[in-house]
Structure formats: C-alpha cells, structure tokens
Chains A and B, each alone.
Chain A
Amino acid sequence: MLVSVYRYNPETDDAPYMQDIHIEIPGGKDIMVLDLLQLLKEKDTSMTFRRSCREGVCGSDGMNMNGKNGLACITALSQVVVKDKLVLRPLPGLPVIRDLVVDMSQFYRQYEKVKPFLINDTPPPAIERLQTPEDRAELDGLYECILCACCSTACPSFWWNPDKFIGPSGLLQAYRFLADTRDTARDQRLSELDDPFSVFRCHGIMNCVSVCPKGLNPTKAIGKIRNMLLQRAT
C-alpha cells in the first residue's frame, strides 16, 4: 500500500513536504495505524510521532488519518485506508514541532483556563464528599476525556481563534465541573465563560463529536453550559 506522510524537520527542512512510501503489510493483516507507523520507523528512524500506551488510553498519538482525526493506536487500516492509500498528517491547526508531533501548548492553555479541578470552599468532611448515585451519573460522558486534542483540532472555530475559544475538549471539562454537585464555584466558572468567544464561538457543527475516539459528546456539554448561562441570566 501507499502511505503519504507529512514530514518536517525544522533543523534541516525549509518547508514541510509529503513523503510517499510504498510498504507491504506483513501477512496482509489488518493492523492499526500506529503499527504501520512503527514499520515505517524501522525503515526510516527519523520518522517522528508520539505514542505511549498503544491502546487508546493515554491520548498521545492523535493524528489526522485520511482527513479525519483519531488515535493511530486504535484505528485499524481497514477503517481509514481508501484505494490502498493512507495520508497521515499531524493534528490540524496546531504548530508542528516535527513530522507528526504538534505543539499542544495552546490546547493546554485553554484547558487550564476552565480550572479543571474541584473547587469547594466549605470545610472538608472527615472522610470524603459524598454524592448520590444520580449526581455521580451526571459526570458520565464527561470525565472520560483523555485530552488527545482530536476534537479541538477538528473544530474550525478553534483553528481561527485558538487563543480565545476554549474549544470542545476544554468546554467538556468545564461542564464536567459545572455539573459536579460538590463544586461550589459554579457562578464564578460561568462568569468566566460569558464572553463572545469562550463558549459562543461554538456553532454546533459537531466535528468534535464525529472524531472523538472515546465516543464523547462535547456539543451536548456546550449546549448545557449555554443553558446554565441562560438560566443564570434570566
């Protein structure tokens, strides 16, 4: 099969380029894209990408495979290869450090903005802060995010305003703490989101939902934040 990989080494290359590599898959098996990258790296050790757990838990190997973001380690070739060809690019919109490795600083800065930790100014109880099973269930579909950045880098609003729009991933986390009954900073959190960019740059095109490798729904969470802002203001 033919693999076209985005290559860029700022120390030696003037500009990024696409490198076409023909490769035979051993035994013709349906391997994962990450395994394919490993094979490519055996051929050319300068091939650079991030990876760690190789089972869709760490979120290190988010990349753009034939035009769609996803985790290379849990995406089988049969899911993405079209006409025996695969185009691999780094996550769109973020600065490229080298080959498929992007600089995630902007993404993390947005994550940091939503204060992704529990804020509670009441004295801590002796053992722990309890929740009812129903209250705890509110956090399902929110806490599972692994911060792979597949969603935010698939979002045009994040591409155009990555410094002001929090992005689907950050907003999913924002709602995770807004929905937490143990958190006492809801009003302050909402105040920080009520500007024309942080939340309201989402136009609901749902690219985030279609690419999330964990099957989460940031658009729904953003809708709930909007409703909270609306309820607070009326």
Chain B
Amino acid sequence: MVTSITSFGRSGLYDWMMQRVTAAVLMAYTIFMIGYLLFSSDLSYASWSSLFQNTAMRIFTLLAILSMVAHAWIGLWSVSTDYIKKTSIRFAFQSVCGLLAFIYVVWGIQILWGV
C-alpha cells in the first residue's frame, strides 16, 4: 500500500511549499551561473577557483545543492508513489534516491571546501 510515511515533510502543503522554494533557489543559482559563464571576461582555472573560494559563493552553492536534493526527493517520491505499485520495489527505489542524495551532499561539501 502506498503511504505518506516516506514523504519529505509528511504534510502535502509543506512538501508543495518546499518544492516551490527550492525551485526558486535553483533558478537563482542557474541564472547566476549562466550569467557568470556568459559575461565573465576571464574564464580560467584561477578565476573559477577564486570564485569558489569566496564564502558567499560556497554558501550559495551549498544552498543550491541542498535545494536540489530536497526538490529531487519530493519530485521522485511523487513519481515513485504514482508508478511503482509494489512496496518492496518502491522502497528500494526510494532508498537508492535517498542514498544518492546523501552522497551528493557530502561529495558536494568535500568539493566546495576542497578548492
């Protein structure tokens, strides 16, 4: 039986709200990145590296990573509860999604503070 125990916030309204807030963060990050890549006069390793050494950029990027993880979880949870009827397969799918999300967060932090 499909239940809401594995949903992000257990409340439909909260999930819906988070989906929208995280989408706004991801849009801001995407626009910034496209703008940077298009209009930056000097695109080199040095400029890219110094961009990410900036604390504000690290915070913004971490926020974008966390937003992506929450956004993806809410979306994929919806997809899996729509299309995967067998509980064991659905749980396995959600577990893989959860594990990947965790890996991406840890890996992202490692990259961000490693530059």
Contacts and interface: CB of A to CB of B under 8 A. Distances in A.
Given A200-B15, A226-B16, A195 B82 contact: no
B4 A194 contact: no
Interface stretch (B6-14, B51-59, B106-114): B6-14
A230 B7 CA distance: 19
B13 A200 contact: yes
Interface residues of A, number: 18
A198 B12 contact: yes
B17 interface: yes
Interface residues of B, number: 14
B15 A157 contact: no
Contacts of A156: 82
Contact of B16 (A157, A160, A161, A200): A200
B8 to A, nearest CB: 8
Contact of B82 (A157, A199, A229): A157
A194 B13 contact: yes
Given A195-B4, A196-B4, A196-B7, A161 B13 contact: no
Interface string A27-46: 00000000000000000000
Contacts of A233: 13
A197 interface: yes
B80 to A, nearest CB: 11
Main secondary structure of the interface of A (DSSP, over half): loop
A184 to B, nearest CB: 22
Nearest to B15: A196
A214 interface: no
Contact of B11 (A161, A164, A194): A194
Nearest to A226: B16
A196 B4 CA distance: 7
Contacts of A226: 13, 16
B45 to A, nearest CB: 42
Nearest to B81: A161
A17 B13 CA distance: 43
Interface in B1-36: 2, 4, 7, 10-13, 15-17
Interface of A: 156-157, 160-161, 164, 193-201, 226, 229-230, 233
18 contacts: A157-B82, A160-B81, A160-B82, A161-B2, A161-B82, A193-B12, A194-B11, A195-B11, A196-B4, A196-B10, A197-B4, A197-B12, A200-B16, A201-B78, A201-B82, A226-B16, A230-B13, A233-B13
